[in-house]
């Protein structure tokens, strides 16, 4: 299986968000896909199967399959543009969130993703305690959005991740497929953010495309702007260009290849079915 790691929302390695990209001939068992995601231990590993005019695309964290992942979609497109579909300018992906596309234009990649506008809700006690916050605006969409006053407030948050997982019950979210996003106005961009997803097996995600499906409509309405720039303030950091296109958001960024290799696996067997062969004895019995 051909395997790549691409650093996304950056133009240099060791920054942005690393995405694993696996090119398949046909689907492996779900258990095998999940085990590969766990073994890779990246925020997301993308799996692709080519169809007629598009690719089927699925994303796995180390613990679960998710319904939308922006950076691994952009990473997948980067791999295809560079190594497979070298004459293409637009790629289409069938996913759990419908048909997505990525366009290669002006040395950047531009994703077309669904818009997920958040609506105001009452503050969650779990959020207040897990992040040690008193004053903030709370909104909810597919993900939870916490709006703070300034960039420094975002940088200073130190979540209790064990406690933060319990917001699932308080918010009424049905499964673990969600993020908690904190955001504020930016100093050298329109807005900044950080993203936490401990229920998915990711304490802090470095740079998160799906979060900007929520952030873009929120900040577009608040700032009265359609086109905006954003930074995610993780340790690795990343920069995004965002456009509110009504029912869709357009998210742009750069990507760079870190690794290209092979994963050894077998289509017929799940990882748990492999037969272990005893190691030879290192000495003779006397």
Domain match, 91 and 128 both: no
Residue 275 placed within a domain: no
Number of H helices, E strands in the chain: 7, 18
* Contact indicator for 201, 64 with CB cutoff of 8 Å: yes
Domain ranges, residue 174: 119-251
Exactly one of 31, 44, 82, 170 is catalytic; name it. Answer: 44
144 shares a domain with 81: no
Same domain, 180 and 103: no
Whether residue 129 is found in the same domain as residue 85 = no
Q: Is residue 177 a part of any domain in this protein?
A: yes
The confidence score (pLDDT) of residue 106 equals 86
pLDDT tens per residue, range 115-152: 999 999 999 999 999 999 999 999 999 999 999 999 99
281 located within any domain? no
Return the CATH number at 163: 3.10.310.10
Residue 285, in any domain of the structure: no
Query: What region does 77 belong to: left with phi over 0, alpha with psi -120 to 50, or beta?
Result: alpha
CA distances in angstroms from 253 to 19, 76, 129, 284, listed in the order given: 14, 13, 34, 60
44 labelled catalytic: yes
* Model confidence, pTM: 0.91
DSSP state of 82: I
- Considering the domain architecture, whether residues 145 and 261 belong to the same structural domain is answered as no
Q: What is the mean pLDDT of the chain?
A: 93
Comparing CA positions, the residue from 102, 105, 101, 76 lying closest to residue 17 is 76
Residue 90 lies in a domain: yes
Q: What is the mean pLDDT of residues 164-175?
A: 97
- pLDDT value at residue 114: 98
Q: Answer yes or no: do 200 and 170 share one domain.
A: yes
Residue showing tokens 């799996």: 47
**CB neighbour list of residue 64: distance below 8 Å, 6 or more residues apart:** 34, 176, 177, 200, 201
**Does 128 lie in the same domain as 99?**
no
Q: How many domains does the chain have?
A: 2
Distance, CA of 136 to CA of 100 (rounded, Å): 33
**Among the listed residues 49, 81, 41, the one whose alpha carbon sits nearest the alpha carbon of residue 202:** 41
- Cα separation, 206 vs 218, whole angstroms: 21
Q: How far apart are the first and last CA of the chain?
A: 45
If asked whether residues 146 and 91 sit together in one domain, one would say: no
Same domain, yes or no: 105 and 129: no
The verdict on 185 and 209 lying in the same domain is: yes
- Do the domain assignments include residue 240? yes
Tens of pLDDT, residue by residue over 235-279, are 999 999 999 999 999 999 999 999 999 998 654 444 444 333 333
Same structural domain, 82 and 131: no
The answer as to whether 217 is a domain residue is yes
């Amino acid at each position: 299986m051909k395997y790549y790691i691409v650093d996304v929302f950056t133009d240099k390695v060791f920054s942005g968000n690393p995405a694993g990209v696996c090119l398949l001939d046909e689907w492996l068992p779900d258990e095998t896909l999940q085990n590969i995601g766990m073994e890779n231990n990246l925020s997301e590993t993308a799996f692709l199967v080519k169809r007629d005019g598009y690719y089927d695309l699925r994303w796995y964290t180390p613990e679960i399959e998710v319904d939308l992942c922006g950076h691994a979609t952009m990473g997948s497109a980067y791999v295809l543009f560079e190594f497979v579909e070298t004459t293409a300018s637009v790629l289409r992906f069938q996913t759990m969130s419908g048909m997505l596309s990525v366009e290669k234009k002006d040395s950047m990649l531009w994703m077309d993703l669904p818009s997920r506008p958040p609506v105001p809700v009452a503050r969650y006690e779990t959020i207040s305690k897990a992040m040690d916050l008193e004053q903030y605006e709370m909104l909810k969409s597919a993900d939870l959005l916490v709006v703070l006053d300034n960039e420094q407030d975002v940088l200073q948050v130190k979540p209790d991740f064990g406690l933060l997982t319990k917001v699932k019950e308080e918010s009424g979210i049905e499964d673990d497929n969600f993020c908690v996003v904190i955001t504020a106005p930016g100093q050298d961009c329109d807005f900044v953010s950080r993203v936490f997803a401990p229920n998915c097996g990711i304490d802090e995600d470095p740079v998160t495309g799906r979060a900007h499906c929520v952030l873009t409509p929120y900040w577009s309405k608040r700032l009265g702007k359609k086109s905006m720039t954003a930074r995610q303030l993780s340790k690795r950091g990343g920069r995004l260009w965002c456009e509110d296109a009504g029912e869709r958001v357009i998210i742009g960024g750069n990507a760079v290849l870190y690794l290209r290799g092979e994963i050894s696996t077998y289509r017929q067997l799940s990882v748990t079915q492999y037969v272990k062969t005893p190691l030879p004895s290192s000495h003779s019995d006397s």
